[in-house]
Each structure stands twice: as structure tokens, then as C-alpha cells.
Structure 1
Amino acid sequence: MYSLCLLSLLSLGAYVTAKPNACPILGPAFPAPTEIGRDPTFIAATQNLTAQIKQAIESGELAGNSISVQIFSGSDSYTAYGLSHTDHSVRNGSVGVREVDENTIFRVGSISKLWTMLLYMTFNGTKHFEEPVSKYVPELRSPYNSSQQIDQIEYVNWDEVTIGELASHQAGIPRDYAFMDLAAMAPPQALSRMGLPSLPKSERLPCGNAPFPPCNRQQFFNGILDTQPIAATSSTPLYSNAGYQILGYALEAIAQKPFHEILRERIIEPLSLSRSSHSMPNPTLAVVPSDLTSSQFNLDIGDAIPISAGGIYSSPKDISTLGRAILANTLVSPAMTRRWLKPATHTASLQVSVGHPWEIMSFNEPRLVDLYTKAGNIGMYNSIMALSPDHNAGFAILTAGNGSFSLPLKLSEQVVDIMVPAFEQMAKNQAGQRFAGTYALEDGISNSSITLVTDDEPGLKITEWISNSVNMGQAFAAKAGLQDTPSLLSMRLQPTSLKSPGRVSFSAVIQGLSEQTTSGPMLSACLTWLELDSYIYGNVGMPEFEFNLNKEGDVVSVTPRALRITLPKV
């Protein structure tokens, strides 16, 4: 206990003072903005985004590609921004739509994995993450003899592979079985030029690639059980479509229904997704670059269709609706959504983590913001959906044409560069209008007040805090050994996401500041999470603040809970 208290004092004073600016706790700096489509900051940002995309179209950067972009908020019932572009090859094509809009059907590729995991969430999904997948998939229950079971190089130990490891690509199993196998795809001469030996007929796969049909369940498991692992479980994330096919079978066992029925009953019908399906829809409603076959719009990959590379068919509007539903907790509880929107493992890049099945991108400007994304690719279709939980907002980009997988990623960079700062500015502006100001108890006795403003740093800044005639800023500065330089003390309020009728909770992040040093991560790390609630008074944390609201939702007072006082807004 003593060591923890000592570390807390160090972090308030000299230890974390290597940070030149306020070091916020992870999470939103302000409450998420609402009514974003009507916000002047949003309108100006999307006008800039539109201009950039149109410039890319006019310059030929997007030649040969049709695209659709959607931006949405979990607090709204509509899409806040939409832009579609139709390539001339589609306008003059022989099949599919002639004009791409928000209702046009695309193939979304591996975004289908996101639908699968959302279905898991509707079955209290994180509950299953620690369970062995063999509990639900009989083909994986002790399939090997005793000597095979101890051979870790040749055989996967399926009894230790969990649903969570499959969902976060940490099962250590191959990316695919039979799909895109070179032995079936390339002619012998091409294989020889690649230095690959010819294979006897007994080693050629019986399914999965033309001219062979897609693998059925028995063929898939026969192949998977004969495939070597490529890493130990939970040692490193390695992307696996085959893992999600297995997850689909496990989900069917949990639900006691076929995948397509679960999908219809738990996502498509509740969200009224009129342009989404797990089987090929009417091509006249879709964007089809070139033709059905070369675009792979009609590619059949068997049981992998609902859950991996082939995946679901959907429209920009339906993807936007799905994103809003996740943010708004329409299908699952807020607690379940918070558990789901978390990293499961790191990657070799500091900016990328992996979730279930999220590809989590971290951005450091204007502060640390995590985007929970899922990208997809199949044939001539590339796509991405991204959510920013801090801002309760997200976007979707669907493309069809001759572009590579990098096309939606490049467009995403443009959206992020323009819209994430706009989301942050909108949140700050709305928080300033709603929460900033002076709160004081004008009874002539207590002499207590607090003044809040917004500035260039995260959170509501406390510029003055008086309690019973005591300057709380000076008191905390003295506690941190900053009595000679009280201006180096930072006090800021961040939302905790805790709410009750008529009340909204914030935490005061109180810390010392100094000039940047060249220290490594051990000394310059942000330790706010470790010491936030270090100061307790009568079993109430000093950082605990509540704003009190009237029936219209306007802020009328603030309560620093440890001080047992409520200060009306002046």
C-alpha cells in the first residue's frame, strides 16, 4: 500500500512531469457530439472531404473505380454524410446498376467477420471467449492419437484453441484451407517457373478452387486436421479466414440454427437491412464492374461465404446502419459493447492492435484516439468500416473496380485526417456550450466556486477552484511539491461515461507538468491511469465530479462529491 501511495505522489509531481502537456486518461476528452450532421464544424469538414475526393476523381486517381462513402453517428437515426461516385465502366456496363448510391449492393469481403462477431455478442458473446472451440465443433474433439497429440509442430492442439483466440486471430492456424491454393490455381509451367515441384495427385486438394467445387464441411475439416499449425496459440496474431469458418460452425451449435437464419433473425430483420444478404442477391441492384465472374460477384466459396473471405453482400446505407447500431447498443447491451470494443493483442506495429475481429488503428493527433476498423476484399470489391467510440461516430467506404486493397485504406486516411479533428472540435464546442462557466455557492458563508473553460488541451480545464475560501489549485500544487510553480499544475475534467437520470459523471485529472525530456517509455509513460483516484476523503475520491441537469437536459449545477457541496451554475 505504501509503495502505491508513493508512486501516486511521484506521478503527480516529478515522475510524470516529463510530459509537456496534460496527460489524459484513455477515453473521450469530452462527451461525444450529437446532431453532427447539423453542426457547422462537421459541415465545413465534409465540404473539405468532398472537395478532396472530387479532386482525386478529376485527376484520375480513382479511375476505374466506383466508390461510396458514409459518415454516421450513434446518436442519430440517419447518415450524416454520404458521397457516391460511379465509374464510366459501370455507367456503360451490361449488368448491375448504372448509378451507384447508398442503396447499391457491394460485396463486403471480410467485413463479414464483423457481422459474425456481432452475432456472437447477441449470444452474450464474450462469455464464450475462454471456451475451447471443440466444445461446440465435434470434428475438433480429440481428433489425434496419443503420439500426434504431443507433436506440436505437425498438429494443432484443438483442445486448447479457444473461441476468443480464433476471433482475434491468435489460434496459430493457417490463413485458409483450399482457398487460393497455388497448386490448383496456376498451370504446371507457372509453378515450375516459381521453383515449385510438381505434386502427386494424392497431395492435390479435392476442393476449394476451380475446376473443383467449394469444400463442404467434411472436406474442410479433413483438410484442417491434416494441416500444420504455424504458431503456438496466443503467441502472435496471424490472420485466418479458416478460423472464422470454424467460428461460424461453433455459432450454429450455440444457436442451434443455420448461420443464414441467425443472421436474418438477429441482424437483418431487427435493423431492417433491405439490401443485405448471405447469398447472392439480384445483380441488377448491385455495382458489377466488368462482369459477374471476373468481378467475383458470383464467386461461390461454400461454407466460407457467411464468415470469411467471400462474405456478406450489403449496401453503404446498410453498413452505416450496422455501425450506428453497434455504437447505439441497439442489439447488445452497453456493457457487452464496451467489452467487445477492446484490444485482444498487439501487432509488430505500435499503431495497430487486434480485437475480435477489429483491426484497431491508433492515432496520436489531436490526442490518442483508437479507431475500431474492419476491412474486406474479394475480387474487385474492397471495403472498410471504422468506429470511433470516443466520438460515438464512424464511417464506411465501399469500392468496386480495378483498385487494390489499398484504395479504401487511402480514402480512410483522408477521412480520418479531416474528420477525427472535426469530431474532437465538435465535442469540445458542444461541451463548452453545455458545461463551461462558473459555478458558485453565493451564500456569503462557504465561499466556494469553480470555473471551467475549454482550450487547446483535452478535457474541461479548471481555471479556478475555491473550497471554503481555500484555493484548491494551490493546495494540490503544494501536495505535489509545486508550491513555487503552481502554474505547472493541470486540473481537467474528463467524462467517465457514467450517467444517471439528471446526472452526468466526470473525473478530475490532476497532474504536474514540465518540459519534454528524452526519457524512454519507462520514465515518460503516461501514468494517469495508475494514480487517478489516489486522493480519497471519507470514502469518496477527490476526482469525482457530477453535473446535475434539469428536465430539458441543461446543466444547472456541479457537485465535487468529496467536498459534499453542490455549486449552482452562475
Structure 2
Amino acid sequence: MRSLWTLSALALSAEAIKTTGCPLLGPAFPAPTSLSEDPIFSSKAEELTSKLNEAIEDGSLPGISFAVQVFSSEEDHSAFGFYHTDGPVKVGSVGVKEVDEDTMFRIGSISKLWTMFLFMTLEGTRYFHEPISKYVPELQIEYSPAQAKDKINNLQWSDVTIGELASHQAGLARDYAFGDLGFKSDLLQSMGFPSLPEDEQLTCGSEYPCDRQEFFRGILKTHPLTSTSQTPIYSNAGYQILGYALESIANANYEEILWDRLIRPLNLTRSCLKVPDPSLAVIPHNETFSWFGYEIGEEAPAGGMFSSANDMATFGRAVLSSTLVDPAVTRRWMKPLTHTSSLQHSVGAPWEIYTFLTPRRVDLYTKAGDIGLYSSSIGLSPDHNAGFTVLVAGGNSHAMTSTIGEMVADIMLPGFDEVARNQALGRFGGTFALTSGSSNSSITITADDGAGLVVSSWISNSVDMIESLMGLQGVTDRSGISIRLQPSGLETPGKISFLAVIYTLGVPEDAGPLLGSCFSWILLDSLVYGNVGLPEFEFSLNHDGYATSLSPRALRVTLPRV
């Protein structure tokens, strides 16, 4: 009843407000294919090449070597590549002299993404609500009644789930020992810090990494920062613990799991956990100063990986196409689990999800990583089955990676949409009609700058269906109604399903979140005829994927393509 009331109430305001479009969240068109051969994409690639060269020449990207690739899960090679080598690297004494698609970089915290991908190969989302202590015996703690009540000083491990660790919502500290200022206590005392008592001085994490026993001895003394699921606070230590849980679930050590479930199946020839041959990598200055040779030890699941642009793109394609993971698991995994205080930044497991608003809302599922002079990022757009990766080595690498990544996204995301729209119009556009006998029915599909294919005309049994829908909705101005088709994600051999957002409302520019939100997800299936929703549209396809007929399923008719 609430939905019907909302439908009626909103319809009354439609005449005074011009429709601006209110699509469903998700793809506006089927994902583009053959990106590398598409002239629209080629134009965007030339624009990106020009922007990157300009940034190098004007000094906007100083002192770095980097590799960029743009890829689609529909192709087994990258659609775009750009590689730049800093002058000192070209004449350096260690590492490659020229960066290319196979050059190895440290990828830092993108390792967390690989760790969670390994979980996904084990149907990982089903573990998200289980307590981490079930799989990590060191966390099976019996607190005294006083400790159990003292939640400021004691993290309640029985409350911590695998999903909370994966999405940085456990309230756990960022690290144990790694980067602790206590290793510089003599210097810091002159800056106002007190001397550390002997029993609080750290015994590992400076000259050598902490082993598992030392890590838990320290992390169990670490104060929680928040209660569980209070707010996301980034934690490398959480992913070290997730690595132990993964070992318990898979009954193997982390490196074996990585090799058996990711590196070998995807044939990642330039990816590894241990420090690789320096001759395969880009190394600014030297192995020590760059942190290339730094052994991260037990924290490897959080930040120890090495990879190349080619391997990163292969990994990205595997995620998008569910190569090693059940597609239903992938869809559950690629969703926000919490938000940040930024309206355009949410958090997954461990996705850093950024919302781009042009040309429409597109959520980019990313992960960034930093260690020493290395910084990296990967961004995946499920709407387009496409993504990009940026690998950087050099000074101020994090800022440089963000600069390049945003440059790629700003050019390529609208480009992906433009390619997808153009291809969808070719596959599904035109008129579908049945005029034989007593039937006079037709639908014309077009496209404009908005999200989704446009039903520009719709006749059923000689009646204008758009006028009929206006009557059902109580709308008198034809501009107050639109019908746009978006892919539903449902396909079967020879057929593909779309959903029609039949009634979309514009909103005043000064509207707040209650009046200004898109209600299409609430109202979508409000119009049903004989247990079949009016939004259900189904195309039949030929062997090349082009529509041969269209069925508005509620009307029980199939219209051949003219």
C-alpha cells in the first residue's frame, strides 16, 4: 500500500517538474565489447595519451616511472597501454631500464584485494558473518568479568566477524609494530613524548618483521579504536589476521593458496609474494631506499605482493568475468558494506568504492596500495565489465597514482558509456512491429544522452501505450513520463532481459535527500498485468547478438524487428 500511495503522490508533482531521468543503479546498457577496435574508444585512448604526455612534459608527473592499462573482460588483451620511465631509472644500476607491460612493481595494499579474492574462490561471502575467532585460535580469549566490561581497553574478539575485518569495521588498530614511533623514542622525547617503560618497548617490527606469536602477543594488548561496525578504520593488522583465517579454511599456507588458486590458474608470470629478481622490476634509487627488497613477513596478505601491469589487468578481467569464482559470489562481493563521511566514497571488502556522477552515476570499485616508493591502484567498473590499473614507482608516488587514476577515470568512464550506448543502439535500436491480421502493434527503440535505451513510441492493438500509461499514472504532460530500458543482468541462450523504468521523475534543483532521491527502484514493478510486470522486456537474439524480436512480456506479444 505504501508504494501505491507513493506512486500516486509523486505523480501529482510530475507535471510541475521536468523529467531529468532517474535510472536504476547499475548498467545503463549491456557492457561494451571489442573495446580496442571501437573508434569511439580509440578517440578516448588518444585523448588519454595526449593528457599523460602533456602532464609529463609540464612537470605534473615529476620523478616517477609508471605503467597504465585499460582493459575489458570481453578481450584477452588490454585495450590501452601507456608506459613511462623516469630519467634516473634509465641510467640506473639496478632493475629495468625501460618500463613496459611486464615490468614488476610492488603493489602494496592491493594485496588485500588478492587475499579477499582467494576467500571468494572458497565461496568467501558465506564466512562474512562468522566470528574470526572460529578460525584463529589465538583469538579464542576467555576474558574475566572485569575485562569483558572494559570495552575501552579490550577488543571483544567474540564480536568480531570476518566481514567486519574485511571491511575495516572491527575497530582494530592499523598495524602492530610496523611504523611504530616507539622505535624512535630517543628522538621523540625531545619533542615532548615520554620515555617508554621497558615492558612497553617493542621487540620486533623494526629490524625484522614480527612472527605470528609476537604479532598476537602485541595485537591482543592493543586498545580497540571503536566498537565493531561503528565506522570503517583502515587496518593492515586485520588483513594479517584474515590471512591466518584463510589458511585455516583452506588447510594450507598462504603462499600455497595464492599459487594454487590465483597465480597458476591465471598464469600470472610476473606476480609473486617473495621479493623477485631485481632485473624484472623498476627500482628507483636502489633496493633499500625504494623498499623494493623489504620483507614484510607475516603481514604479506595485507601488503606483500609484487605484480606487473599485464598481470594486474589479467586479475581485473578475472574478477569482472568471475573466471575462478561463482558469478553470484562476485555480485555479492562487489557491493558496499559501509560508508565513509564522503558522499562519493564507500567501503567494501576491501573495495574502496568511488562514485562518479558524469555522465551518470557509476560506481568504480577500486583498491590502492602504497609501500616505500611504490604506489598502485586498480579500478573496476562492473557496469561496463571494464577497468584500469596504474602502477607507479618514484617520489610522491601516492599523489601521482591518484592523479593518473582520476585522469583515466574522467576520460574512460564516459567513454565506456558512449561505446556501450552506440553498440546497444546497433544491437537493439529500430522498430519492432506486428501488423498482420487484426494486430497493429509496434515499439520503436532509440537512444539519447540519458541512461538506457529509449522507448520513443509504443503502439499496442492500435492504442498509444504511452498515452495509456500516462492515464494510469495521472500524468497529463507527455514530457513527465519516459520509458527507458536497462539490462536486468538476466540472460539465457538467444535471449536477453531488460527492465523498463516506465515512470521517472525529475526533482527541483534545491531538493534535499527525501524529495531529491530516485524512487524508480521502489516504483519499478508497481504496474503488473496478470502477474507479469510492465517493466519486463525480452529481446530474442541472433548468433551475432543482434535483436531479431522484442516482447513486452505483460502484453503477451512478440514483435519482429523491422
TM > 0.5 fold call: yes
Does structure 1 residue 238 correspond to structure 2 residue 233? yes
Superposition map of 1:423-462 within 5 A: 423-462=416-455
Per-residue deviation, residues 249-278 of structure 1 (Å, max 9, x unmatched): 000000000000000000000000001001
The equivalent of 1:333 in structure 2 is 326
Residue by residue over 1:482-522, the C-alpha shift from the partner in whole angstroms, topping out at 9 and shown as x without a partner, is 12x12321111111010001100000101154563422111
Q: Structure 1 residues 512 and 233, CA, compared in 2 at 3 Å: closer, same or farther? A: closer
Aligned to 1:196: 193
Instruction: Give the secondary-structure state (helix, strand or coil) at the position aligned to 1:262.
Output: helix
C-alpha displacement of 1:187: 5.5
**Displacement of 1:13 after TM fit?**
4.9
2:535 is matched with 543
Residue pair 2:271, 2:306 contacting (<8 A) in 1 also: yes
Q: Using the TM superposition, give the Cα deviation of residue 377 of structure 1 relative to its aligned residue in structure 2, in angstroms.
A: 0.1
Aligned to 1:560: 552
1:507 aligns with 2:506: no
Contact 2:345–2:352 at 8 Å: present in 1 too?
yes
| Greater shift in the superposed pair: 551-560 or 357-366 | 551-560
Give the whole-Å Cα distance in 1 for the aligned partners of 2:426 and 2:69.
28
Corresponding position: 1:496 with 2:493? no
| Distance in 2, Cα, partners of 1:41 & 1:316 | 24
Residues 147, 377 of structure 1: alpha-carbon distance in 2 compared, 3 angstrom cutoff: same
Q: Verify: 1:475 aligned to 2:473, yes or no.
A: no
Aligned to 1:409: 402
CA distance in 2, matches of 1:144, 1:299: 37
Counterpart amino acid of 1:273? L
Structure 1 residue aligned with 2:114: 115
In structure 2, what residue type is equivalent to 1:219? E
| Aligned partner letter, 1:84 | Y
Letter in 2 for 1:426: V
Give the paired residue count.
562
Q: Structure 2: where are the runs of 5+ without partners?
A: none
| Aligned residues of 1:16 and 1:512 also touching (Cα < 8 A) | no
Runs of 5+ in structure 1 lacking a partner? none
Evaluate the alpha carbon distance shift between residue 552 and residue 418 of structure 1 in structure 2; reply closer, same or farther with a 3 A threshold: closer
**Partner of 1:108: helix, strand, or coil?**
strand
What one-letter code is carried by the residue in structure 1 that aligns with 2:31?
A
Give the equivalent residue in structure 1 for 2:74: 75
Partner residue, 1:163: 162
Asked if the contact 1:19/1:515 (under 8 Å) is kept, the reply is yes
Using the TM superposition, give the Cα deviation of residue 143 of structure 1 relative to its aligned residue in structure 2, in angstroms. Answer: 4.3
Look up the match of 2:302.
Answer: 308
1:257-272 alignment to 2 at 5 Å? Answer: 257-272=252-267
* Contact 1:10 1:16 survives alignment (8 Å): no
Q: Identify which range, 17-26 or 56-65, moves more after superposition.
A: 17-26
After the TM superposition, which of the residue ranges 16-25 and 369-378 deviates more from structure 2? 16-25
User: What secondary structure sits across from 1:14 in the alignment?
Assistant: helix
Q: Equivalents in 1 of 2:504, 2:195: separation in Å?
A: 68
Conserved 8 A contact 1:11-1:531: no
For 1:252, the equivalent position in structure 2 comes to 247
Counterpart of 1:421 in structure 2 is: 414
Q: How far is the alpha carbon of 1:480 from its aligned partner?
A: 1.8
CA distance in 2, matches of 1:60, 1:367: 32
Query: Does the 8 Å CA contact 1:24/1:458 hold for their aligned counterparts?
Result: yes
Q: Percent identity?
A: 53
1:14 Cα deviation after fit: 2.5
2:22 and 2:504 in contact (8 A); partners too: no
**1:279 maps to what in 2?**
274
TM-score (normalizing by structure 1) = 0.97
* Comparing 375-384 and 140-149, the one that deviates more: 140-149
The match for 2:20 is: 21
Q: How does 1:527-542 map to 2 (within 5 A)?
A: 527-542=519-534
Aligned AA (1:293): T
Give RMSD over aligned pairs.
1.3
Paired residues for 1:197-212 under 5 Å:
197-210=194-207
**Aligned 8 A contact 1:91 1:99 in 2:** yes
In structure 2, give the amino acid aligned to 1:203: E
The offset of 1:102, in angstroms, is 0.6
Matched AA of 2:13: A
Q: Secondary structure at the match of 1:93?
A: coil
**Contact (CA 8 Å) 2:17, 2:480: kept in 1 or not?**
no
Could you state the TM-score of these two structures normalised by the residue count of structure 2? Answer: 0.98
